[in-house]
């Protein structure tokens, strides 16, 4: 959900339904407009100062200078203001007061300064809305009336004279401008709010799309019509080990060497879905089997603009497929064992017993006695093979209990080293953590260790050392047991078959020892 949380952080702060940044820009434009008007006023007074020596020009210039200074300070601090609407309200109040002072020091109504009220009222409708515009119109009307009558009282009737009709006309015009400005402002605000909502929805949809694409557990790659990668999701990075920066704009056949892409002409606007498997050689790793699907990538008009390739790592699937194949083989062996086990074992027991009786009851020459020993030994080997076969093929149910792994491995090694067939040239070392408990069937686990130790010794014909080590896998809640020997190892081709029933590389092997160990561990 990272992309959605990021989109939430990107959501603009709204002020009266308008993004904060846009509101600040509008305030900045109004402050710039005030600076421009003030500059115009200063230029006008310079001309008047040259042409006419008016008494109020010095005061006028000082007032305009203060207004310019106030405007620049407001521009500097506007991005740091938290309550922008209150800030905008005080700006409008200052404008009305400033214009009223201009009207007052110009000694009456017969100048163009009252028309600046209209500009301020319109500006207030833009930043404060309908209510702010009417409030500004009312404040302008009150201050304008006060200034006019104050000028009349101070400068005399001939300099501050204004009629009630003219005043009411100005007042009506103030409210008319407030109405018109509010209407225009409302329309602009509605448009801005709709755009903000559209932007909001776009950000959410974009975040949701990115979250879905990045969350799927399969690689997703888009390719343009030139065969270059234009998109590479995070799962694709995980599977291939190729960083996103290295994948972008890279030819697909370079990123995936040996990929069997469908050969279609550039004019083919309706390529069919293409499914295939191939082995991807990841850097510093073994080949990874990938299952891929390639389909057309179309724009909103339905025109093909490239291809989409999705792929999955089939390693786990192949492993499960191998397990099912092995399970099917075991099921077939079980059925075979159930039908012939007793048919083989009973005559075998009769043969062994009869040979033993003959050996004990009659006198034999050395050659005959040697032949008898061969028969008995081979009968015992055949009986052992049959016993392992029945144990392997017959279904069983584990008797699960808490097992001290240290004690169980120690008992197995002690019995194994005291077996008559154990050669003292071999060494067995165990490094098992104390108080290491697991859940399992102790007799079955002993069988696993016995078979693995026997297999390790057979891999070292003359002499060698077998080492048993354990490790706790805390995160998985499991225990790993490593059994290593000094043998020559197993080649990759043989390694794939070592757990197959009856597969052996030894002349006297049954091919069931590792298969039985695998089945016991799998049943746990």
| Predicted pLDDT of residue 327 | 74
197 shares a domain with 62:
yes
| Predicted pLDDT of residue 12 | 52
Evaluate whether residue 113 is within a structural domain: yes
363 shares a domain with 229:
no
Nearest residue to 468 via CA among 520, 399, 508, 417? 417
Please give the helix or strand (H or E) that residue 409 lies within, else none: helix 405-417
Residue 251 main-chain phi, psi, to 5 deg: -60, 135
Evaluate whether residue 168 is within a structural domain: yes
Evaluate whether residue 105 is within a structural domain: yes
| Predicted pLDDT of residue 7 | 43
DSSP state of 226: T
Evaluate whether residue 510 is within a structural domain: yes
Compute how many other C-beta atoms are within 10 angstroms of the C-beta atom of residue 27.
Answer: 23
SS3 483: strand
**Consecutive sets of 10 residues in the chain, 524 residues long: mean pLDDT of each?**
46 57 74 74 57 59 77 77 79 84 67 78 82 87 81 55 72 88 81 75 70 77 89 88 88 88 56 81 81 87 87 88 78 68 73 76 73 78 72 70 90 84 81 86 88 86 86 81 86 80 72 80 80
300 shares a domain with 345:
no
| Predicted pLDDT of residue 447 | 87
Evaluate whether residue 318 is within a structural domain: no
171 shares a domain with 43:
yes
| Predicted pLDDT of residue 21 | 73
| Predicted pLDDT of residue 8 | 46
Residue 173 main-chain phi, psi, to 5 deg: -65, -35
464 shares a domain with 356:
no
- Residues 164, 397: Cα–Cα separation, whole Å: 110
- Residues 380, 289: Cα–Cα separation, whole Å: 46
Last residue of one domain, picked from the residues 174, 206, 238: 206
Last residue of one domain, picked from the residues 313, 346, 364: 313
309 shares a domain with 243:
yes
Last residue of one domain, picked from the residues 264, 288, 313: 313
57 shares a domain with 100:
yes
| Predicted pLDDT of residue 508 | 66
- Residues 207, 200: Cα–Cα separation, whole Å: 11
| Predicted pLDDT of residue 159 | 47
Angle at the Cα of 89 from the Cα atoms of 85 and 93, rounded to 5 degrees: 170
408 shares a domain with 284:
no
| Predicted pLDDT of residue 42 | 61
Nearest residue to 432 via CA among 476, 468, 473? 468
Domain count, the chain: 4
| Predicted pLDDT of residue 209 | 66
- Give the range of the structural domain holding residue 201, as residue numbers without chain letter: 2-206
Evaluate whether residue 320 is within a structural domain: no
Evaluate whether residue 429 is within a structural domain: yes
User: What burial letters (b/e) apply to 400-432, b meaning 16+ CB within 10 Å?
Assistant: eeebbbbebbeebbeebeeeeeeeeebebebeb
CATH code of residue 461: 3.30.565.10
225 shares a domain with 294:
yes
132 shares a domain with 15:
yes
* Token pair for 101: 């002072």
| 8 Å CB contact between 417 and 382 | no
| 8 Å CB contact between 331 and 392 | no
| Predicted pLDDT of residue 4 | 42
131 shares a domain with 40:
yes
144 shares a domain with 71:
yes
Evaluate whether residue 44 is within a structural domain: yes
């Amino acid at each position: 959900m990272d992309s959605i949380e990021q989109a939430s952080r990107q959501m603009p702060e709204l002020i009266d339904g308008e993004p904060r940044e846009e509101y600040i820009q509008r305030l900045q434009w109004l402050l710039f407009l005030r600076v421009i008007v003030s500059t115009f006023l200063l230029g006008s007074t310079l001309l008047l100062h040259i042409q006419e020596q008016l008494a109020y020009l010095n005061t006028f210039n000082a007032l305009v200078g203060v207004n310019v200074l106030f405007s620049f300070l407001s521009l500097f601090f506007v991005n740091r203001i938290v309550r922008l609407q209150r800030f905008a309200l005080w700006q409008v109040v200052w404008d009305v007061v400033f214009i009223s002072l201009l009207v007052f020091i110009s000694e009456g109504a017969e100048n163009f300064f009252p028309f600046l009220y209209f500009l301020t009222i319109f500006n207030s409708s833009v930043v404060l809305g309908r209510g702010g515009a009417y409030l500004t119109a009312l404040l302008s009307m009150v201050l304008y009336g006060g200034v006019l009558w104050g000028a009349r009282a101070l400068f005399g009737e001939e300099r501050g004279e204004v009629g009630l009709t003219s005043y009411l006309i100005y007042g009506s015009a103030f409210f008319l401008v407030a109405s018109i400005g509010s209407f225009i402002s409302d329309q602009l605000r509605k448009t801005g709010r709709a755009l903000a909502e559209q932007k909001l929805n776009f950000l959410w949809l974009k975040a949701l799309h990115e979250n879905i694409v990045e969350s799927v557990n399969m690689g997703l790659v888009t390719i343009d019509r030139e065969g270059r990668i234009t998109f590479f999701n995070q799962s694709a990075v995980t599977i291939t080990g190729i960083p996103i920066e290295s994948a972008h704009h890279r030819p697909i056949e370079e990123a995936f060497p040996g990929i069997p892409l469908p050969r279609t002409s550039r004019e083919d606007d309706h390529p069919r879905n293409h499914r295939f498997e191939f082995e991807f050689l990841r850097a510093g790793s073994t080949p990874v089997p990938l299952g891929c699907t390639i389909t057309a990538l179309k724009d909103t008009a339905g025109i093909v603009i490239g291809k989409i390739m999705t792929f999955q790592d089939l390693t786990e699937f192949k492993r499960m497929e191998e397990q099912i194949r092995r399970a099917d083989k075991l099921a077939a062996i079980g059925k075979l064992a159930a039908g012939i086990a007793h048919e083989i074992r009973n005559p075998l027991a009769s043969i062994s017993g009869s040979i033993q009786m003959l050996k004990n009851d009659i006198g034999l020459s050395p050659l005959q006695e040697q032949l008898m020993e061969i028969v008995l030994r081979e009968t015992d080997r055949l009986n052992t093979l049959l016993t392992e076969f029945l144990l392997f093929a017959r279904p069983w149910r584990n008797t699960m209990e808490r097992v001290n792994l240290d004690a169980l491995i120690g008992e197995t090694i002690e019995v194994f080293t005291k077996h008559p067939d154990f050669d003292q040239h071999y060494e067995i070392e165990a490094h098992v953590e104390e108080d290491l408990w697991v859940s399992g069937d102790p007799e079955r686990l002993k069988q696993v260790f016995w078979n693995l130790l026997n297999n390790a010794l057979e891999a070292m014909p003359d002499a060698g050392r077998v080492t048993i080590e354990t490790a706790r896998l805390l995160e998985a809640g499991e225990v790993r047991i490593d059994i290593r020997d000094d043998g020559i190892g197993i080649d990759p081709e043989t390694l794939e078959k070592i757990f197959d029933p009856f597969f052996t590389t030894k002349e006297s092997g049954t091919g069931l020892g590792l298969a039985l160990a695998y089945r016991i561990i799998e049943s746990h």
